[in-house]
Chain A
Amino acid sequence: MKVIHSDVLVIGGGLAGLRAGIGARRRGLDVKILSLVPPKRSHSAAAQGGMQASLANSLKGFGDNEDVHFADTVRGSDWGADQDVVRIFTHMAPKAVRELAHWGVPWNRVRAGDHQVIINGKPVTLTEDEAAHGLITARNFGGTAKWRTCYVADGTGHSMLYAVSDQAIAEQIPVHERMEAVALIHDGSRCFGAIVRNLINGELIAYTATATCIATGGFGRIYRVSTNAVINEGMGAAIALETGVATLGNMEAVQFHPTGIFPAGILVTEGCRGDGGLLLDRELHRFMPDYEPDKAELASRDVVSRHMENHIRKGHGARSRFGEHLWLDIRLLGEEHINGKLREVKEICQYFLGIDPARELIPVRPAQHYSMGGVRTDAQGQSRNLQGLFACGEAACWDMHGFNRLGGNSVAETVVAGMVVGESMADYCLGAGGEVPLSPALVRDFYRREQAHLDSLCGRGEGEKAADLNREMQNLMTDKVGIYRDEAGLSEAVSGLQELLERSKNLHASPAPGANPELVMAYRLPRMLKLALCVAEGALARTESRGAHSRVDYPQRDDSRWLKRTLERWEEGASSPVLSYEPLDVMKMELPPGWRGYGVKDHIPHPDTEKREQEIAAIAQREADRFARQEAALPFKHLLPEQFRPGNARYKETDDV
């Protein structure tokens, strides 16, 4: 048995995992990062449009600050988010952008003087300050009160990932590529690393560690139509679930992005609409203002995606041989803008659709995009059930997105969470966690169990093919656990998935030596099915509509019964997750539940809401200074590592909220 020990083992080499690893490394710890693919190929690279941070350097960002970003994020989450975590996030996001600038990200910059933009379909001239020339600029995104999304053309994630990955190389952090964690080593209360399969030669290795961090991204590939990369199968969340101890949070909260190109589902950025692009129907009518007079195309993603699906159901979809879709029109932005700021979009349109988006319309339809749910952690990124297990980024649910994530908040989250969780893993290793002895017998048991499991998959003469079960799972999820959900469909999905899980016990792979992709699919598929069941069962149980979780049979958001977070745990051998709930305390909210400013208005209020609103109003009256007001409403600085507590400098600090 090959054993490799580290202080910190990070599973996942995307932005979140790399940044967490750098943080721990800078505290003097021995860090190793495992990645399914070379880290620069991680799905973080696909983030196009940008990263939200309230720098407020450009004209349309003036007046922005942490408070405005906080309110936008909480409204976007449909009050599902943990407001402590949203505070940590909005406070840290400007620091993250500036750190990345220091590391080499070529953020687009403010250009002084006049420039033409498109707002609400019409050309407008903006005049940027002379004194702001050269500061980091921002574009508009959905669900935000200010232009806050910092960007590098439409290759923001690419530039960020390259800067952070190169920084990890500079810090001499080993990244063990083409390595897959297949089980966490744990004793029921503490995690000690992972059993890992080498995806080049098939070898099993025990990576033992004091702190283990899941940073494996989302699980979009349980759906048939997804913007996600093919590696986004949620294996990190799945092995956490398979401990039987760690919980996953809000798995039913799945985001559908309005503009996946049709039918491939490849993403074109929200920046298309942020920069002025419009959604049109088969009559080339701009329909979003009919539904959302104020925000139109730039309401939150859950709201826009629902209106699009609904508009298609009403018969306004354009027809094609693959089915119905709508159009994204960015022609009005002009060739120069598209060639400069939306060039990845242009390439995608050229290569996959054979069209020039400066001249032609882009066929789009909502596609699965983001997993708000994931490994449930506290505000420092540690599992509440399994000590020494941490999670960050899309794989985690610490929970800053609640039931809907705003565009531009996920790449921002990856880096911010990495900054926070890197420190908290270091604190753990240098504190009590580092004292706990590791049992070699425990490691050996887990190693043998995984080896036996892989052998058994290859040992059967014949059985089910993973590719068949995978297709059926993806169809069930897209058809029955999609944008609109109801009891009948969800029940069918649950029983269908349970049947597939049962059949998966008979999966078979050839015993070919080496990488053996057939075996890979055979051991991943039951894990994907468990995640799919967590999504479907969580969705079936939640009899309300909140954010991206939309029940046609329960269309209202019901704060009186459902202002709580879903937790799911999986007992070994079970065919369903164990559900429990964690209430959100209205009396601790800085922003009590209300109307989001877009979408439907008819929620059922929580009995404490009015009382908390009065308290917050009294604080606002008492405290004139925004920082004092904030501190009185929701103190959060104590949750941050000390070096991150100072405030953020702004070009123009105003209290104009």
Chain B
Amino acid sequence: MSDTAPVTVEATPRTLTLEIFRYNPADPASEPHFQTYTLEETAGMTLFIALSLIREEQDPGLQFDFVCRAGICGSCAMLVNGTPTLACRTLTQSLDATIRLAPLPVFELIGDLSVNTGKWMRNMSEALETWVHSQEAEDLHAMEEKMDPALAESIYELERCIECGCCVAGCGTAIMRESFVGAVGLNKITRFQLDPRDQRSDADFYELVGTDEGIFGCMTLLGCQDVCPKNLPLQSQLAFLRRKMARTGVAMTFQRRPGK
């Protein structure tokens, strides 16, 4: 394997024990269980490297999802010793010699460590209409609209979400309520709400998230903030959205249509 980094480890390499959740829903004979693999740790070994080695050398049938292996695509979120995180950038040296890996909860299981985050995220995007809603004609030949540089940077702060699903897996509400849009969805609403190119009003956003499936479902346990691999400001964004939607709800009750 080439994907190793020059990080020093002890002179005598450790033997790692990986306890990996196994279950193949396509196989009627398969029962959910943990299977144990051992391998020798190498310098700079990540869980991507460890799992790839196990698949190459011990168990070619093991299912998991890696794409970029650089912490930017969000494919490889799983429970590492019970905590949702990105496996590709988790160094084994940061963990005890026995490592327990399980698929993210909430999402549909494809097999072993592989879950269908894509389907969940597409449903969320459709439900929350996570795109810029604009009535302006697209003139591709004219000068672009100006935008304040600081505002553009603030939008990017919220857009750094990689839809990995850690916040959903770490969320008490999401585990109890299947249709909850999660911090990932609520954060997107704050992103589009901030963007002047999106012409939706607060009332429009209220229609999307002013419910128990949306912002009012959040129990402020803030597991999302703790596990977000991109360190998004989820706590402040959710609090902001809750206040805004509560005000909007009150205003709507009195039939005033608040501006954006």
Contact = CB atoms under 8 A, between A and B. Distances in A.
Contacts of A163: 131-132
A513 B160 contact: no
A231 B75 CA distance: 12
B149 A262 contact: no
Interface string B15-50: 000000000111100000000000000011010000
Interface string B91-133: 1000000000000000000110010111101100110011110
B143 A649 contact: yes
Contacts of A200: 110, 116
Contacts of B2: 224-225, 263-265
B136 A465 contact: no
Contacts of B126: 169
Interface in A515-538: 515-518, 521
Contact of B26 (A106, A167, A202, A344): A202
A321 B6 contact: yes
A351 B26 CA distance: 36
A102 B197 contact: yes
Nearest to A223: B2
B153 A340 contact: yes
A99 B118 contact: no
A320 B6 contact: yes
Given A163-B132, A264-B5, A515-B111, 5 more contacts: A98-B144, A102-B132, A106-B153, A137-B149, A648-B141
A38 B132 contact: no
A258 B70 CA distance: 17
Nearest to A474: B2
B148 A134 contact: yes
Interface stretch (A39-47, A116-124, A371-379): A39-47
A264 B3 contact: yes
Interface string A147-173: 000001101001100110011011000
B4 A108 contact: no
Query: 7 nearest interchain CB pairs?
Result: A38-B118, A514-B26, A134-B146, A518-B60, A95-B140, A106-B155, A104-B132
A49 to B, nearest CB: 13
29 contacts: A38-B118, A40-B74, A40-B162, A41-B68, A41-B75, A42-B67, A98-B142, A102-B132, A103-B132, A104-B131, A106-B155, A109-B149, A133-B146, A135-B144, A137-B149, A153-B156, A159-B159, A166-B125, A170-B131, A177-B118, A225-B2, A229-B68, A229-B73, A263-B4, A351-B89, A515-B110, A518-B60, A646-B141, A649-B143
A307 to B, nearest CB: 23
Contact of B27 (A99, A110, A170, A513): A513
A201 interface: yes
Q: Which residue of B89, B129, B143 has the most chain A CB atoms within 10 A of its CB atom? A: B143
A614 B6 CA distance: 55
A512 B27 contact: yes
Interface of B: 2-7, 24-27, 43-44, 46, 55-57, 60-63, 65-75, 89, 91, 110-111, 114, 116-119, 121-122, 125-126, 129-132, 134, 136, 138-149, 152-153, 155-156, 159-160, 162-163, 192, 195, 197-198
Contact of A514 (B24, B62, B142): B24
Contact of B71 (A102, A229, A347, A650): A347
Contacts of A267: 70
A315 interface: no
B4 to A, nearest CB: 6
B149 A515 contact: no
Interface string A422-444: 00000000000000000000000
Contacts of B89: 351-352
A517 B144 contact: no
Contact of B24 (A354, A363, A513): A513
Nearest to B26: A514
Question: In this complex, which of A38, A167, A322, A516 has the most chain B Cβ atoms within 10 angstroms of its Cβ?
Answer: A38
B67 A230 contact: yes
A175 interface: yes
B56 A467 contact: yes
Interface in A76-103: 95-99, 101-103
B142 A41 contact: no
Given A41-B73, A351-B71, A352-B44, A104 B195 contact: yes
Interface in A166-193: 166-167, 169-170, 175, 177-178
A261 B4 CA distance: 10
Nearest to A48: B72
Given A169-B130, A348-B71, A510-B61, A107 B27 contact: no
A627 interface: no
A111 interface: yes
A101 to B, nearest CB: 5
A204 interface: no
A332 interface: no
A517 B55 contact: yes
A110 B153 CA distance: 12
Nearest to A36: B67
A37 B118 contact: yes
Contacts of A521: 60
A103 B60 CA distance: 42
A518 B156 CA distance: 39
A68 interface: no
B131 A517 contact: no
B61 A518 contact: yes
Given A134-B147, A158-B160, A229 B74 contact: no
A110 B150 CA distance: 10
A38 to B, nearest CB: 3
Contacts of A363: 6
Contacts of A344: 72
Given A46-B68, A109-B149, A159 B73 contact: no
Interface in A400-451: none
Nearest to B114: A515
Contact of A510 (B60, B143, B146): B60
A312 to B, nearest CB: 16
